[in-house]
């Protein structure tokens, strides 16, 4: 194994990660949301790599190889096609990369607020759940038992 396998992502790898993240989830001015290459979100992504470091590194290397070493220079359509094709291959590294990026992206305050969510942890405030329409159960209450009574069946 490469002796540098456990080293943090290098500056070059972080640049590649930024290109990939920004392609996967780009900013959208109409929605008012940043892309996953936003500096705050990218910092969160890099901080959160943790145990996925080898797979993230493998994914970045695979994307670089598939793009002939020029991912950032491909046009947008080509970048998106490459990423979607790679992700749908189901490779564990691709899945880990996607999970890492959305994990950080969908906890960013700006993103959550754009989804009309509160930017907070679930605990301690929690949420409200409405009762719903219990009258719908009336039709079910009238049904005969569905379960088999073994005592009756085996006594026959």
The binding site for other proteins (CB under 8 A) comprises 23-26, 28, 31, 33, 48, 50-51, 76, 79-80, 83-84, 87-88, 95, 98-99, 102-107, 111-112, 115, 117, 120-134, 136-137, 139-141, 143-151, 153-154
Q: How far is the CB of 29 from other proteins (least distance, A)?
A: 11
SS3 106: coil
Q: From residue 51, give the alpha-carbon distance in Å to each of 56, 78, 127.
A: 9, 30, 32
Nearer to other proteins, 54 or 106 (CB): 106
Contact 110, 32 (CB under 8 A): yes
Q: How far is the CB of 85 from other proteins (least distance, A)?
A: 10
Nearer to other proteins, 70 or 154 (CB): 154
Q: How far is the CB of 108 from other proteins (least distance, A)?
A: 9
Residue 50: other Cβ atoms inside 10 A = 8
SS3 33: strand
Q: How far is the CB of 149 from other proteins (least distance, A)?
A: 6
Virtual CA dihedral for 59, 60, 64, 67, nearest 10 degrees? Answer: 60
């Amino acid at each position: 194994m490469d002796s540098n396998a456990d080293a943090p992502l290098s500056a070059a790898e972080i640049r590649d990660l930024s290109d990939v993240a920004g392609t996967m989830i780009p900013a959208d001015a109409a929605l008012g949301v940043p892309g996953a290459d936003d500096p705050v979100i990218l910092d969160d992504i890099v901080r959160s790599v943790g145990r996925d470091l080898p797979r993230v590194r493998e994914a970045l290397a695979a994307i670089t190889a598939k793009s002939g070493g020029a991912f950032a220079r491909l046009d947008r359509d080509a970048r998106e096609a490459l990423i979607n094709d790679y992700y749908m291959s189901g490779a564990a590294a691709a899945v880990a990369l996607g999970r890492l990026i959305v994990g950080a992206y969908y906890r960013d305050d700006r993103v959550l607020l754009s989804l009309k969510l509160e930017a907070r942890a679930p605990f301690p405030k929690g949420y409200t759940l409405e009762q719903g329409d219990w009258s719908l159960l009336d039709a079910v209450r009238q049904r005969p038992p569905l379960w088999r009574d073994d005592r009756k069946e085996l006594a026959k």
